[in-house]
Structure 1
């Protein structure tokens, strides 16, 4: 795994920007861009490229990007020296191709395409990366086309959305679920047609969060019955069809602790939605927001990681939002990958994938695929000035502190304390003079936010010895 030179910037960045909008959104640091002008764009959307995916394997970080020609593999461990290390041609190629999708499991990459009657499910052995890959399965026996796939790695199940069959008969399914008990030989477990269309899915431990396109809205379905003798029906846990800016329910992602789901409707000018999904009996919209670039701006795909929401926006490129407080999200990073600004079309950033380095506890890089301009690799370190976080003696003392510190401010009514990963560890009401007890907090740096009735009056940092 690559070494992270500036480790603290991302941690400071996540936390300091979780209070409100004390700093502007920063432009991401572009490290690498690739595009191949010899490839044929689609006739429908003029897109040469589509989905992006990432894998960390054998100490390397690999970017995987789809094109009208097939699947490209790049070693981006050291972005300044990034290069394409292998390529797998699609079973169907050319100007009719718009969509490809990817997910990996147990050393294999699963590949689908949503165009062409000769398309297949491809399974690619990626265990030899960053050197090479090997196609181990390429067939339309199970299905021919799919719009999106998702693998529930905890239960070894492949969820295939918007499925089309041509072998031996022409028919479609809203979603099909396959066992990956044998990763090289997926076995059909269940065909889900309880809704007309499933455009995309996020699944964790047999609980599927389904984005059901136009009219179908959002559904949460329990598929744990797949471990019992059939016929047993899946259980609808929740559904949401009426909500702000309800349109073509396109895609979403669940946060790390399973309490917040981001939902994207693929309509020009429609906001991103953050949902409270902690109680399936009471799904609610926590906030709605957008890139703020144009009244026709439209989000396409998103991933949540470590309190940050990474979004690929048509026309507006990469947008990263701090959602540590999901009721008050705000943008902290951006980069426009497609400069023409005719927002009425479907062009620009398609997908996004952030690499998290667990050893360094930091983002190492961020991948973006742009439909017209190819692969982008951005730095995962955020060069954010933190001068405004210096402690003010009249507000916080002593600093560093051992077991407690004191805040004196006439207008402050509350304090929130965050750790370096953006997790809220303390919230307390204040009087004019208030002593904050350390309690069970471990030594190190924390970040505070003082609020009065009008909102935030001071952000800063406190160190416990």
Structure 2
């Protein structure tokens, strides 16, 4: 099992000039194995008292019929169960969502698989919440359904009852509009509640372009009755930026041509505010207290030499601090600063005017210039004053944000062949999804061996 390294990342030697652990395909592209030689179980130092954090389990995903490896996507946890999506698969099969009983975190047991009855699709994102509406009471799961190939009959979001996680029951399906029939479907999503209403927030990245402008990338859907989802609202960025063209592009205040794509979305704990990760448009904040008619509040923006790429968001400090991750794959793009994507942290006490407090960037993200997907940051999760980041080749990064103006890395987990897609802190363990090698479990307990 892989060990962890804390405070200062261990640097391995360059191999043939490609960078740490890089190897090369025959076509000249490169891939990278994770850090090796981390054999000791270290003690976590820092404000969070993560003592003896270690990898306690690693569970590969396999095709149940062929036994072929399955590529992992995002990971979520709810009431002691882990839910893991599947990404683009080498076998081309629809592998849906895997459910693991985490009663013993050192031995996750796969107990169910669902959303695997949709040929030609893949399931990247899942959110599970407890809801209580006039039509449904229990644990509701919303799952993104994206087109993998021409076999897909419908794309969008599928809705399941997972009150019993070991026996998921399909309740309904929200299909992206007919104009988007040949499009990609729902990329990322969120589920929130307002009183006795349950709302699906769907980021259908690229919808505007694929539909010829007929629909926009962000949609609010009422799923209070999961069997009959009702679309309430679509966000049109042109209501905020007047010069958005037919390709969803605009010129910013620096004269840089920027691109809009609502890639992801979250809501605060009250369900009042939605945070849209809108790529070069930044993180867009909407007041969705009236989901039929949301109001634009404010957004983040970028300096002239900063690639946009607002990919995902998380909230801290009671919703007064915004964590924005930027998924930059091209570290040497002409006209922009060098480096893979990193974190920007904002004060949003005044949501109409987000103020940049600080940035956090790993050494590899700043200095490496090769490899795909590389060392860019991916997704953020916050638990208390601790920020957890999935970071592809850079594994999981753990950052103390007690003072958000001075983030401090206090831990890092980089497994062999690291390609970490998602991270989620739950109970006394941390989950990480590795695209190549499956579900990883890190326990923050008093283990010393």
1:299 counterpart = 2:424: no
Q: Which runs of 5+ in 1 are unaligned?
A: 1-16, 42-47, 164-171, 228-232, 325-447, 450-455, 458-465
Give 1:159's aligned residue. Answer: 275
- Offset from partner CA, 1:209-254 (integer Å, 9 cap, x none): 1112224521110122236xxxxx4222221234355531211111
- Offset from partner CA, 1:415-456 (integer Å, 9 cap, x none): xxxxxxxxxxxxxxxxxxxxxxxxxxxxxxxxx78xxxxxx5
1:208 counterpart = 2:288: no
115 and 133 in structure 1: CA distance in 2 versus 1, 3 angstrom threshold: same
Give the distance between the partners of 2:269 and 2:56, measured in 1 at CA.
38
Larger radius of gyration: 1
Check conservation: 1:112, 1:147, Cα contact below 8 A: yes
Check conservation: 2:422, 2:434, Cα contact below 8 A: yes
Give the distance between the partners of 1:184 and 1:140, measured in 2 at CA.
11
1:109 counterpart = 2:200: yes
136 and 235 in structure 1: CA distance in 2 versus 1, 3 angstrom threshold: same
Give the distance between the partners of 1:154 and 1:270, measured in 2 at CA.
33
Check conservation: 2:189, 2:265, Cα contact below 8 A: yes
254 and 20 in structure 1: CA distance in 2 versus 1, 3 angstrom threshold: closer
Give 1:316's aligned residue. Answer: 437
Identify the structure with the greater strand proportion.
1
Shift of 1:322: 1.9
Shift of 1:35: 4.3
Q: Which runs of 5+ in 2 are unaligned?
A: 1-49, 59-105, 147-154, 239-247, 249-260, 329-338, 367-374
**SS across alignment from 1:226:** coil
Give 1:368's aligned residue. Answer: none
**SS across alignment from 1:199:** strand
Considering Cα pairs closer than 8 Å and 6+ residues apart, tell me whether 1 or 2 has the greater RCO: 2
Give 1:88's aligned residue. Answer: 174
Q: Out of 301, 307, 317, which is 1:193 matched to? A: 301
Q: Out of 158, 169, 173, which is 1:72 matched to? A: 158
Give 1:271's aligned residue. Answer: 395
**SS across alignment from 2:286:** strand
Give 1:364's aligned residue. Answer: none
Give 2:140's aligned residue. Answer: 62
- Aligned residues: CA RMSD: 2.9
**SS across alignment from 1:278:** coil
Paired residues in the alignment total 284
1:125 counterpart = 2:211: no
134 and 24 in structure 1: CA distance in 2 versus 1, 3 angstrom threshold: closer
- Offset from partner CA, 1:54-107 (integer Å, 9 cap, x none): 121234112211112111111121234322111110133446458232242422
Give 1:34's aligned residue. Answer: 114
**SS across alignment from 1:79:** coil
1:282 counterpart = 2:406: yes
Give the distance between the partners of 2:128 and 2:379, measured in 1 at CA.
18
302 and 184 in structure 1: CA distance in 2 versus 1, 3 angstrom threshold: farther
Give the distance between the partners of 1:317 and 1:64, measured in 2 at CA.
21
Shift of 1:127: 2.5
Check conservation: 1:179, 1:188, Cα contact below 8 A: yes
281 and 85 in structure 1: CA distance in 2 versus 1, 3 angstrom threshold: closer
20 and 35 in structure 1: CA distance in 2 versus 1, 3 angstrom threshold: closer
TM-score under structure 1 length normalisation: 0.55
207 and 122 in structure 1: CA distance in 2 versus 1, 3 angstrom threshold: same
